[in-house]
Structure 1
């Protein structure tokens, strides 16, 4: 459970602060000035809640030699950014918090989970990502903040923060929505910042097409790390909540969640491979894979569409993904892709709530896709006992899996 450590005066100030106060704090932090916040919200790591989560993990099926453990209790845990120094891991949420997770004694279990940058008001800070030289970026609903030394400053309530995309400028304010606004980001091999911008509709209407193509909504944008030279990199993407770059050749790969309401078995979810800038991945003409949408069935799709390299099970909700570059797992996993499936919400027979693995060959082609970890869905009752969101790799070659239903981070390791 949560343990609130904010003193009453500070808590009252944060509770009543509006946008102007939040902007004042952001400006103060940019000038290396204190904000007056002195304490953190800290999450208890033991007790009955942790024990209940560990009992759930006894149900999880993994290939022989692998095991899964509770790494940290993290409320609403979504996307994961592991610090390049191995000091702290940052976990985003679809609410207002980012959590700093620290394993101080390196026993591969978190010792401390506390709120990151408590003096700032954040809105859907789902997507944290790191540059190789240690700059943390967090993509919010309609803003991107850069934290130049997060692994150093996270121990203090006051953290240097720079708005590289100011509030209201990631997408037009009139396009803000409660739907499909969980952003993800990555720093590419070109040292540019890539951000996914899900469009808010099940199937976007024609009158939105020009605006969305121009701003990158329903696609993936990229920009310099200081926010300049923004451009649309990917088109025809319904709602991508996971991306990574193939370490062998630098190509962008991403998952995409496809159209609802077409039936239990269509359209498929997608794992996509992008080989050059400006490619179009089919939405809204295609609802997923080769399945045409009813709304655009009578219109001609753009030429040279790129179809997914893997068609996943329909409505399994493929979210976060990562290429495996570690040495701990057997050789067959190296260079392949782990994908977290959140699980279906509108399917007669639920599916998903698992981690998938796709083998990737040296030339970028794919091998077999198979279930790697499952058991979070009780197939007899249809009850979700967890809902995986993201996959990230620790420096020792084990992987972390986030779960926003239970509110936890799991660690999967391999014993030779």
Structure 2
């Protein structure tokens, strides 16, 4: 890791110097990359009690779970999206689609957070949706068009100033002219090959023909991977519309990911997807397919590329399957070992709303998968009102799981007791 930091430090200093020479106002990232203070001293702290938290707990009374499981409020976290639990179990970092990353700490280990405050408040984040950790404690945050690296973030988050470096500097994750307000929630994971994998949703409902060559070249509408020092970038996955959740099978090392499919084709088509990737360079069908084997109207007369990989699971149409994680803990019953827990965010334009629940997918030894509801009740089926919208699932060291909710602005903890 010393080699990685040296390489990243060199590139950060160079990019910072270029920034200063261009006459632009320096970002605090330049100072933090040089281990200098910024003058920022204040955090934003989030109240964890009161009427707001009580209202969330009231909602949780209606959540249905299998026998033996319990759901509780873990933390109030505004706009909570994807989560990264620190390897030491000290702090959980939570991304948002706004300009904050939150640090969530359970100091007395009673399985309820004591403190929620903004992480690295001296930095300006832009849609920092996707935090992820390496096994040796390096925090990566994938933004709209940048990826930052924070060595030892789990130990230095108590200060407003933390060591921070560009892994991919602003404007180099995707071409700046391709930045969009749509499908910009990046997700990252460290793979079993010790490379970082980053999803790059394409911004259209259906990607237009004239964009495909560029998108395939840079990995938009797919997934890229690179070394942990930022070198060796390559496109790993093609044919994705907007994936906002991926993880690696604990035994096979295969990449699995969710994908949100084409809107405007009807309430019940196309299906959402949970995909299994077994080799680099596989194509999962967008834009020729809208989801599953449903052809898009825009490409119905076009011949799809050879070797399109169909989903391992077809999910309910428009339920918006997002974050996912393989379960490796010891708290839950044996049948959940290596199962996938995933969040359905809920539909936004379906005539009758669906989703807003946590799903569990069981995978057999041949890679066959079946998806079932695990935690549901955030959608009031009588009124069609969302009382919460799950986004991501993460595992705590004790084997319980966290579920984030960006509507309620909360993290929930699901535990099991015989």
Shorter chain as denominator, the TM-score bin is: over 0.9
Compute the displacement of 1:20 (Å): 7.9
Instruction: Give the Cα–Cα distance (whole angstroms) in 2 for the partners of residues 358 and 22 of structure 1.
Output: 48
Correspondence 1:13-412 to 2 at 5 A: 23-366=26-369, 368-412=370-414
Q: Is the 8 A contact 2:321 2:345 kept in 1?
A: yes
- CA offset at residue 361 of structure 1? 1.6
Assess, with a 3 A threshold, how the Cα gap between structure 1 residues 28 and 283 changes in structure 2: closer, same or farther.
same
Q: What's the CA shift for 1:24?
A: 3.5
Matched with 2:15 is none
**Structure 1 residues 100 and 21, CA, compared in 2 at 3 Å: closer, same or farther?**
farther
Query: Is this contact kept in 2: 1:248–1:362, CA < 8 A?
Result: no
Deviation at 1:27, TM superposition (A): 1.1
- For 2:143 and 2:119, locate their aligned partners in 1 and report how far apart those are by CA, in whole Å: 14
Q: Hey, what's the Cα distance between the residues in 2 that align with 1:358 and 1:164?
A: 33
Contact kept? 1:22, 1:121, Cα under 8 Å: no
TM-score, with structure 1 as normaliser: 0.94
Task: Name the CA distance, whole Å, in 2 between partners of 1:77 and 1:23.
Answer: 29
Cα distance change of structure 1 residues 291 and 22 upon mapping to structure 2, 3 Å threshold: farther
SS in 2 for 1:42: coil
User: Aligned partners of 1:220 and 1:187: how far apart in 2?
Assistant: 13
- 3-state SS, counterpart of residue 280 of structure 1: coil
Q: Structure 1: how far apart are the matches of 2:113 and 2:37?
A: 28
Q: Using the alignment, how far apart are the partners of 2:57 and 2:27 within structure 1?
A: 42
Which 4+ stretches in 1 moved above 2 angstroms? 19-24, 362-365
Q: Distance in 2 between matches of 1:45 and 1:247?
A: 35
Gapped regions of structure 2 (runs ≥ 5): 1-21
Unaligned stretches of 5+ residues in structure 1: 1-18
Query: TM-score, normalised on structure 2?
Result: 0.94
> Aligned pair count?
397
Give yes or no for contact 2:27–2:123 (8 Å, CA) kept in 1. Answer: no
* Structure 1 equivalent of residue 12 of structure 2: none
TM-superposed deviation, 1:364: 2.6
The two structures, once aligned, show a CA RMSD in angstroms of 1.1
Deviation for aligned residue 1:25: 1.1
CA deviations on 1:226-265 (whole Å, 9 max, x unpaired) are 1111000000000000000001111000000000000000
What's the CA shift for 1:31?
A: 1.3
SS of match in other structure, 1:220: strand
Aligned in 2, Cα 1:50/1:21: closer, same or farther, shift over 3 Å? farther
The one-character-per-residue Cα deviations of 1:47-91 (angstroms, maximum 9, x if unpaired) are 010000000000100001000000000000000000000000000
Aligned twin of 1:10 = none
Q: CA deviation at 1:100?
A: 0.2
The CA distance in 2 between the partners of 1:408 and 1:338, in whole Å, is 18
Preserved contact between residue 183 and residue 196 of structure 1 (Cα < 8 Å): yes
Aligned equivalents of 1:380 and 1:89: distance in 2?
A: 35
What secondary structure is seen at the aligned counterpart in 1 of 2:235? strand
